[in-house]
């Protein structure tokens, strides 16, 4: 009886010991949580923006009042056609199936921003007179957007270059075989357009075999105001 009583006492002591250890750890954990809460609880949490602002045609910044947002790219070699976007509307692209080899042109109403027409002119195997006829139909106040694809210069002549120069182009006179060129001008413009990029076809600097790199341009076109 005494032996069994001793065993019970030892069991009771062991149980009390483990219970004390358990309670000590519980108190320690609560105390640590409290202290950590005091340390970090006052630190402000910065709110992370859930989305990035998107502007028309994917521009890097919005255009001011009274301007049309545009973004455009030349063709890539003879594989990917050019793309022209105005006011978040894609006017010409390979997806729309309205681009082709040569000079791609979109005509836009300079007052409303509405699309008038699009067309492309093959300057490798086509007839430059079709381009000249098209250029003669452009009315005063029309915004003219042009982008090249593959070869856009072989059939150009002095008359066609002069007419495009009168739309505000500075580079059309030096446009050569397989050069890349993008341009925004207008019928009746009084100065040279600030919206133009041109890169020469050069075997030493071409990004693609036989073609220069793609050109991209974005900006804000002033809306035409009636006098």
Residue-wise pLDDT tens for the chain (227 aa)?
Answer: 445 556 666 666 666 666 665 555 554 444 444 343 343 344 444 555 555 678 999 998 999 999 999 999 999 888 899 999 999 999 999 999 999 999 999 999 999 999 999 999 999 999 999 999 999 999 999 999 999 999 999 999 999 999 999 999 999 999 999 999 999 999 999 899 999 999 999 888 888 888 899 999 999 999 998 76
Fill in the DSSP letter of residue 61.
Answer: S
Encoding tokens for residue 7? 């065993």
Task: Specify the pLDDT at position 62.
Answer: 95
Q: Where are the domains of the chain?
A: 1-29, 56-222
Task: Specify the pLDDT at position 1.
Answer: 46
Number of H helices, E strands in the chain: 3, 9
Asked if residue 143 lies in contact with residue 165, where contact means CB atoms within 8 angstroms, the answer is no
| Rounded Cα–Cα distance for residues 87 and 69 (Å) | 5
- Please state the pTM of the whole predicted model: 0.76
| Rounded Cα–Cα distance for residues 178 and 77 (Å) | 8
Task: Specify the pLDDT at position 18.
Answer: 64
* Strand locations in 35-160 (E): 67-73, 83-86, 89-92, 102-109, 115-121, 142-149
Task: Specify the pLDDT at position 129.
Answer: 98
The arrangement of strands across the sheet holding 180-186 comes to 115-121, 102-109, 142-149, 180-186, 195-199
Residues 6+ apart with CB under 8 A from 26: none
Instruction: Find, among 153, 138, 127, 140, the residue nearest to 212 by Cα.
Output: 153
Task: Specify the pLDDT at position 23.
Answer: 57
What residues pair up with 216 in beta bridges, in sequence order? 73
| Rounded Cα–Cα distance for residues 46 and 25 (Å) | 34
Asked if residue 194 lies in contact with residue 162, where contact means CB atoms within 8 angstroms, the answer is no
| Rounded Cα–Cα distance for residues 117 and 138 (Å) | 10
Task: Specify the pLDDT at position 21.
Answer: 54
* Degrees to nearest 5, angle at CA 210 with 156 and 202: 75
Asked if residue 108 lies in contact with residue 186, where contact means CB atoms within 8 angstroms, the answer is no
């Amino acid at each position: 009886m005494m032996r069994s009583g001793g065993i019970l006492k030892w069991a009771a002591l062991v149980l009390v010991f483990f219970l004390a250890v358990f309670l000590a750890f519980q108190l320690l954990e609560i105390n640590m949580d409290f202290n950590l809460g005091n340390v970090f609880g006052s630190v402000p949490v910065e709110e992370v923006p859930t989305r990035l602002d998107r502007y028309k045609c994917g521009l890097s910044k919005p255009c001011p009042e009274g301007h049309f947002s545009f973004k455009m790219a030349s063709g890539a070699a003879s594989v990917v056609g050019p793309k022209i976007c105005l006011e978040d509307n894609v006017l010409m692209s390979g997806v729309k199936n309205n681009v082709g080899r040569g000079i791609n042109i979109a005509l836009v109403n300079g007052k409303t921003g509405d699309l008038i027409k699009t067309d492309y002119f093959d300057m490798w195997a086509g007839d430059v007179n079709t381009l000249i006829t098209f250029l003669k139909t452009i009315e005063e106040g029309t915004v003219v957007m042009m982008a090249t694809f593959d070869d856009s210069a072989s059939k150009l002549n002095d008359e066609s270059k002069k007419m495009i120069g009168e739309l505000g182009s500075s580079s059309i006179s030096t446009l050569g075989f397989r050069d890349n060129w993008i341009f925004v001008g207008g019928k009746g413009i009084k100065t040279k357009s600030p919206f133009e990029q041109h890169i020469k076809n050069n075997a030493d600097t071409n990004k693609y075999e036989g073609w220069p790199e793609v050109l991209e341009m974005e900006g804000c076109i002033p809306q035409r105001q009636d006098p």
